[in-house]
Amino acid sequence: MNKKYLVSSLLMVLLSVSQSFSMYSRLFQHAIGSTLVGATAYVSGKLIAQYKEQSFSDAPQSIQRWARPILAEGGMKNADSVPLKIDDGWAVYRGSLITIDRKQVDLLENCLGKKNLNASEQMFINDAEETLRHEKKHYQNGDYGKGLLLYALTAPLILESITLPGIILKLGMIAGTNLAYTRYQEAEADRSAFMNMPSLEKLEMVKAAREQQVKLFENNMRNYYWYHNSNWLAKKVGPAISDQFNVLDEEAWNASDDFELAKIEQKQAVLIAVADFIWDHKHPSFKRQLAIAQECIEARKTPKKEVHLQTSFCVI
């Protein structure tokens, strides 16, 4: 009886040790995989950034003189030396340099050389400043490195699946997690740019620009233009989405009461959100950007509460 008890106890101990070893072995393998993925992506990214820094053209001196004081606000490191280059859009390229949209360079340089700007030119300069502050947040916050870290932590999960459904599920989890974090980074960069605009008047101009973008995108939904210069998925499903949007427009005209109209407008809002996500899945929707701008305006209008410390003296 005692022998059977000892044997069964020994087997249970060996089984628990085996399970623990297996668990720690998986953790070790995941750690090794994350390290390899992260290190490879980071090193290759930096090498590509060095090559691009040499191949991209420098931003004109007038733009650099305008941009560097803005970058220096708040004590940003390397504000006077971070490379400012020209590329196909505003961005922080792999955490190493800031690029300016080549389509805007000539107009930006022209506006900066003027003493008196008209309303549209003032709006353009204001938008450029907000965009620069947005990219400054990405650079200063090290968003490229943080994004790589999350990718390195999640990517090895796919190796733990051996079935096709499991691999597809893990791919969805990895893509969804990284996409959600990217959109969070973009929203926070927007918020930082809005909160650091030098005046409330300039922030109001940013909000007005976002309102125009919201209206323009909705109009483009009606005239089938929103997907023309977008990705393949938008071009594939764009006509169907615009068709449905226009059908809802007709239903709205014939709505019998406010309740029915509200339901139709809610359906249109869903279509706009879906189209906006397909058109640009990495950034918050135009409506969300507008909401963030409004939140920042309200935050800046609200006076900061002063904390008064009361000291009581006791005389003995």
**Alpha-carbon span 263 to 302, nearest angstrom:** 35
91 forms beta bridges with: 99
Tally of residues, the chain = 316
pLDDT band at 58 (very low <50, low <70, confident <90, very high): very high
**Alpha-carbon span 128 to 236, nearest angstrom:** 32
Q: Give 146 or 42, the one with higher predicted confidence.
A: 146
99 forms beta bridges with: 85, 91
**What pTM value is reported for the model?**
0.83
Least confident among 141-145, 220-224, 312-316: 312-316
pLDDT in tens, 18-32: 444 454 566 767 677
SS3 303: coil
pLDDT band at 7 (very low <50, low <70, confident <90, very high): very low
**Alpha-carbon span 285 to 205, nearest angstrom:** 18
Helix-helix angle 143-154:119-141, to 10 degrees: 50
187 lies in the same domain as 244: no
pLDDT in tens, 189-248: 999 999 999 999 999 999 999 999 999 999 999 998 888 888 899 999 999 999 999 999
256 lies in the same domain as 295: yes
Q: What is the pLDDT of residue 112?
A: 95
| Chain CA centroid to CA 262, Å | 31
Mean pLDDT score, 3-14: 49
194 lies in the same domain as 290: no
Domain of 49, in residue numbers = 17-198
- Tell me how many domains the chain contains: 2
Q: Is residue 297 part of a domain?
A: yes
37 lies in the same domain as 124: yes
